[in-house]
Amino acid sequence: MIIELGHFAMVLTLGLAVLTALFGISAGRGPFAAGLRSVPSLVVGQLVFTALAFATLAHAFLEDDFSVRYVAENSNTLLPEIYKFTAVWGGHEGSFLLWALIMTVWMCAVTLRGGHLPERFRAQVLGVMGLMNVGFVAFLLFTSNPFERLVPFTPSDGSDLNPLLQDFGMIIHPPMLYVGYVGFSVAFAFAIAALLSGRLDAAWARWSRPWTNAAWGFLTLGIALGSWWAYYELGWGGWWFWDPVENASFMPWLIGTALVHSLAATEKRGVFKSWTLLLAIAAFSLSLLGGFIVRSGVLTSVHAFAVDPERGAFILIFLMIVVGGSLLLYAVRAWQLAGRATFEPSSRDFFLLINNVLFTVALVVVLAGTLAPIVYEAITGGKISVGKPYFDMIFVPLMLLLAAALAVSPPLNWKRTGFARIRARLGIATASAVVISLAAFLFIESEVPWQSLAALALAIWVVAGHVQDLVLRVRGSRLPGLAYWGMFAAHLGFAVSLTGVALTVALTEERDLVMSPGQVVEHGGWQVTFEGMSSVRGPNYIAERGTFRVAQNGANLMLTPEKRRYSSGGSIMTEAAIDPGLFRDLYISLGDPLDGESRAVRLHFKPFVRWIWFGALLMTLGGFVAVLDRRYRRVKSPAVQAVPEPAS
């Protein structure tokens, strides 16, 4: 019966979400005026009931209740307890329940932390979020119900969680992505509320910024975790594949990054106002696209639609309403909010514009590359694939341009900057960057492509410029606020990731080879000895384990990659063995057995690969630190006393 309770709780959530939308958006006017005061309690109610529903599903998993179809499809009696719990969001239906839960948590956060917002404005923000939640919960209940029973044919055991998902990285990666995706709904709701109320000023931008930064931070973390997971779990050492699923999470990140920057300009200078609104709408729309479409499989093929017409139709209609509706509102209202300020090309404003143009171009490129195969298939019936070469060709120059713009930016003032100041402030950083780069180039012995050298030099320049700026500020009268430190960490993170990408791409040594026991090979300066194979038994799998001794200058370590066969379903998984290091990873994975005792083996030597994720962590940290800046917590900005009247 418990699972029916969960189902019922979600139905209640749907009702509460409808009321939140109704009362919130009308914001104390019209026939629903009386509902304004109840909006916060409605939000809390949604959180409570969604959490209850989530708990009942988790309970069904832990109790092995295979009469619930979703449990039967995604769990198994042999599955370790922890994976039974995480299997709750291992499949399509459950992941949307998690999505809805996260949505209610964000709404609750806005309710609690938004005390300084004018009541009606906050109600409108929550109303817009409530409206989105109506869509999410309706999608869950009507097309992807995780609470459905399998009666009378209750299976005696479940069909197991996909082994790829039985892993730490995969447990936290999707939730982080969702927190990011759904988090952009706050920025989106702020934008819609601004359009509805006709209010878009510095205070508005200051309210939006911490929410946007937080969502962006989570999304960055989610993407980095996904990349890290793919690296160690898929067994062939890649960290980014440009596949549609990854692109779907990368697109909102690109636009979200542009949004974070344009919000800064909107707050400080009142420029890019309508553009900022557009970015907020786009970031959330792309998040919906990412979250919904990936899970429903549509991105891979149009045929996913034919397989599941209800889900596909629901997603398309919902997206059309959200995107079309907000763009219509934008078309009708945004002109009243447009900014009037001007600036020089030597200003920080202008460089934020460059940032926005580059990130938007990047978005268009990824979007086109991701959708091209789908459109081509829909129109001609043929199949094409757009892969790494396309993205590499375009992304490398774009990122180099971006890094160059970033390197020049630290000394820039808002509005305009004198060239004397730029020359004075940039001189030391540039000179030191040139010296360090040259030294680094001499140190690198192997053949390195020019793109990597350029990226490395630019990364050093970015760091030098930012460090110089920091030193000047710290030496100055007062210490910079947390928002500055956040920016500093995020930009540093960008440089670190750029370095990691440049060096990994240039210096990786990888090799597929045949090894027999006792054989020694040289790889990346290490002696790798294949000692032999053994058999081990895990909780729900049997593995063949290879033992490799790896040695360099007296240092000695053992690596034990595995090939696992999972008992239910018989899926085979390659578990790579990795010796991680700050400056290099050693990566071994097993292939198939060959004649006698010999074995196909894949060896990777990957310098600086960890820097890619380390940089992303720094960016995440930067996003979070910036949220904590005192400016965002200050209660009631002086400009905000009265309720803004609607503009028309």
Q: Which is nearer to other proteins, 32 or 240 (CB)?
A: 240
Q: How would you classify the pairing of strands 509-515 and 526-537?
A: unpaired
CB of 109 to other proteins, least distance (A): 27
Q: Which is nearer to other proteins, 345 or 427 (CB)?
A: 345
- Residue 538 phi, psi dihedral angles, 5° rounding: -100, 180
Q: Which is nearer to other proteins, 372 or 448 (CB)?
A: 372
Alpha helices in 144-201 (DSSP H): 168-197
CB of 466 to other proteins, least distance (A): 25
- Distances in whole angstroms, Cα of residue 585 to Cα of each of 179, 509, 550, 604, 613: 30, 11, 12, 8, 13
What span, in angstroms and rounded, lies between the C-alpha atoms of 3 and 86? 17
Q: Which is nearer to other proteins, 332 or 472 (CB)?
A: 332
Q: Which is nearer to other proteins, 82 or 328 (CB)?
A: 328
Joined together, the tokens standing for residue 106 give 């964000």
Beta carbons within 8 Å of 487's beta carbon, 6+ residues apart = 622, 626
What span, in angstroms and rounded, lies between the C-alpha atoms of 374 and 383? 8
Q: How would you classify the pairing of strands 520-523 and 526-537?
A: antiparallel
Buried-state track 106-115, b at ≥16 Cβ within 10 A, e below 16: bbbbbbeebe
Largest CA distance in the chain: 83
Site of tokens 């549509």: 298
Joined together, the tokens standing for residue 27 give 């914001």
Amino acid identity of residue 577, one-letter, is: A
Q: At what angle do helices 419-443 and 450-475 cross, to 10 degrees?
A: 130
Q: Which is nearer to other proteins, 570 or 638 (CB)?
A: 570
CB of 284 to other proteins, least distance (A): 14
CB of 393 to other proteins, least distance (A): 6
CB of 379 to other proteins, least distance (A): 5
CB of 323 to other proteins, least distance (A): 6
Element (H, E) at 397: helix 388-408
**For residues 616 and 223, is the Cβ–Cβ distance under 8 A?**
yes
CB of 336 to other proteins, least distance (A): 9
Q: Which is nearer to other proteins, 307 or 471 (CB)?
A: 307
CB of 88 to other proteins, least distance (A): 13
Q: Which is nearer to other proteins, 387 or 427 (CB)?
A: 387
CB of 108 to other proteins, least distance (A): 28
CB of 574 to other proteins, least distance (A): 6
Amino acid identity of residue 499, one-letter, is: T
CB of 613 to other proteins, least distance (A): 17
Q: Which is nearer to other proteins, 304 or 436 (CB)?
A: 304
What span, in angstroms and rounded, lies between the C-alpha atoms of 346 and 418? 8
- Distances in whole angstroms, Cα of residue 385 to Cα of each of 247, 251, 290, 371: 14, 18, 19, 10
Q: How would you classify the pairing of strands 562-566 and 541-552?
A: antiparallel
- Distances in whole angstroms, Cα of residue 311 to Cα of each of 106, 181, 255: 25, 20, 26
**For residues 50 and 9, is the Cβ–Cβ distance under 8 A?**
yes
**Other C-beta atoms within 10 Å of 396: how many?**
18
Joined together, the tokens standing for residue 251 give 């697109």
Q: Which is nearer to other proteins, 500 or 561 (CB)?
A: 561
Joined together, the tokens standing for residue 500 give 């990691």
CB of 188 to other proteins, least distance (A): 14
Q: Which is nearer to other proteins, 256 or 291 (CB)?
A: 291
Q: Which is nearer to other proteins, 296 or 540 (CB)?
A: 296
Closest CA to 205 of 618, 640, 625, 622: 640
